[in-house]
Amino acid sequence: MLRKFTNLNGIKPMSWQPNAQTPYAKYTKRLLPFLLIVPLLILCAGCSKAVSVTPMPLPPANLAAKCPTLQDPPLQMIDPERAIWEADIIAKYVDCATKHRLTVKAWKDAVIVK
């Protein structure tokens, strides 16, 4: 059996209605948008660091030249012509690799802050 709990020794049941407005509630309602916006602005301000981009200097003129084109192999791969052709290709590869290495070194030296 269920009893109705309307009065237990002078205790009234709880009311599920919202509490009466407190005197500071009207200020809270007005300040609520600002209280939400200010932290967002502070978070965004931390991300707005300006980055200055330093333009890369031009490489020296002797390094800016393109690598030489490779010659086609001789039609008949006989020993003297083949040796001359291979020596020419090796010399061109060495020249191009040296230019590349010096260009990278020059740009790294230009970028390093002293």
Domain-wise residue ranges, the chain = 61-109
At 5-48, the pLDDT tens digits run: 555 566 666 666 666 666 666 667 777 788 888 888 887 776 65
Three-state SS across the chain?
CCCCCCCECCECCCCCCCCCCCCCHHHHHHHHHHHHHHHHHHHHHCCCCCCCCCCCCCCCHHHHCCCCCCCCCCCCCCHHHHHHHHHHHHHHHHHHHHHHHHHHHHHHHHHCCC
pTM of the entire structure?
0.46
Task: Please report the pLDDT score of residue 15 as a whole number.
Answer: 62
